[in-house]
Amino acid sequence: MLEFRNIDISDKPRIDAALAESQFMGCEYSFANNMAWRRLAESKITFFRDFYICCAFGTDDGIPHFMLPAGKGNYREVIDEMKRFTDSMGVPLVITGVTDNFLPVFAELYPDAFTITSDRDSSDYIYNSSDLINLAGKKYHGKRNHLARFNKLGCTYSPMTENDFDDCITFGAVSYNNKLSENDHSFVAEQFAINTYFSYFSELGLKGGVIRKDGCIAAFTVGEPINRNTFCIHIEKADTSFDGIYAGINNCFARDAAAEYRFINREEDLGIEGLRKSKLSYYPAFILNKNTIVFK
């Protein structure tokens, strides 16, 4: 029977090996994200042979939600093992984040044994790196105007170093306090994630970028490569009192950290209307559709 526990920094080599084997493009297939956001839904991990399994236990429906396992081996065996675990709890097996290209695998292994629901709110926005760097063509005219306004601010951009960590943590905390959502679990989980990123920045292999105005933080961002051709933006914070600041941090960091990768994953919109509009305005190359599979 599968036995779950909290993720630890010492798990990184084994988990990274499994993630590298699968080369998944979804933002959840990142050791850094799994470790940093583990409090959001009480996620825990386990291993089955050469597969890495992450499961959220703090779900709204009270049923564990599994990520599709990453690694190599027989998918029938690992999914059967997951099903034995949920059967022992008297609940159905739920697997989230299943991309469209993996649905035929389930159809072949378990015909007519499950239902599929598209999860648009959790689907990732994938951009051509060259588009976010060059902002070329008529469709990016408005973005170039935002960037021009940013360039007039007299800000400075630099790759993030350890000397920036405390200022970034403070900036993130001020942003959190300004939302007046201290009782919102997602915001509390976000603060935990930010602190985790900076506490283990080097060990997690993260890259970051910082924009300062008159020596003070005006924006910061953190990300990492999650497969051979995709760089993922994990977090992005900016002071919107500075016109064009988000266009600035987006463009500067893409140039600095992601130019060697074909794609940039800017993660999901969580069903937030304003966030969806913003992400669509950068014209993603495609949206990585994710599905939830529930076994009958």
Average pLDDT, the chain: 96
Asked if 234 and 36 touch (Cβ cutoff 8 Å), the reply is yes
Angle at 118 between CA 112 and CA 122, to 5 degrees: 140
List residues bridging with 66 in a β-sheet: 55, 95
- Token output for 88: 């022992």
List residues bridging with 125 in a β-sheet: 287
Q: What are phi and psi of 56, to 5 degrees?
A: -95, 120
Does the pLDDT at position 176 exceed 70? no
- Runs of H (alpha helix) within the chain: 12-22, 31-36, 75-89, 103-109, 129-134, 141-151, 165-178, 185-199, 245-257, 273-280
- Token output for 69: 């396992």
Confidence grade of residue 179 (pLDDT, cut at 50, 70, 90): low
**Other C-beta atoms lying within 10 Å of the C-beta of residue 153:** 15
User: Which positions ≥6 away from 184 have C-beta within 8 Å?
Assistant: none
Asked if 261 and 227 touch (Cβ cutoff 8 Å), the reply is no
Average pLDDT for residues 267-294, to the nearest whole number? 97
The pLDDT value recorded for residue 175 is 75
Does the pLDDT at position 182 exceed 80? no
Helix (H, G, I), strand (E, B) or coil at 39: coil
pLDDT in tens, 246-276: 999 999 999 999 999 999 999 999 999 999 9
Confidence grade of residue 62 (pLDDT, cut at 50, 70, 90): very high
Does the pLDDT at position 177 exceed 70? no
d(CA 86, CA 80): 10
d(CA 71, CA 233): 23
Asked if 151 and 296 touch (Cβ cutoff 8 Å), the reply is no
pLDDT in tens, 106-133: 999 999 999 999 999 999 999 999 999 9
Does the pLDDT at position 40 exceed 80? yes
Does the pLDDT at position 181 exceed 60? no
pLDDT in tens, 76-99: 999 999 999 999 999 999 999 999
User: Which positions ≥6 away from 50 have C-beta within 8 Å?
Assistant: 18, 21, 71, 72, 73
Asked if 169 and 194 touch (Cβ cutoff 8 Å), the reply is yes
> For the chain, what is the radius of gyration of the CA atoms?
20
The distance from CA 241 to its chain's CA centroid, rounded to whole angstroms, is: 26
Residue with tokens 């992450």: 54
Asked if 35 and 55 touch (Cβ cutoff 8 Å), the reply is no
The pLDDT value recorded for residue 26 is 98
Q: Where are the beta strands (DSSP E) in 214-274?
A: 216-227, 230-238, 263-265
User: Which positions ≥6 away from 134 have C-beta within 8 Å?
Assistant: none
- Runs of H (alpha helix) within 152-271: 165-178, 185-199, 245-257
The pLDDT value recorded for residue 184 is 73
pTM for this structure?
Answer: 0.95
The pLDDT value recorded for residue 192 is 93
What's the longest Cα–Cα distance across the chain? 61
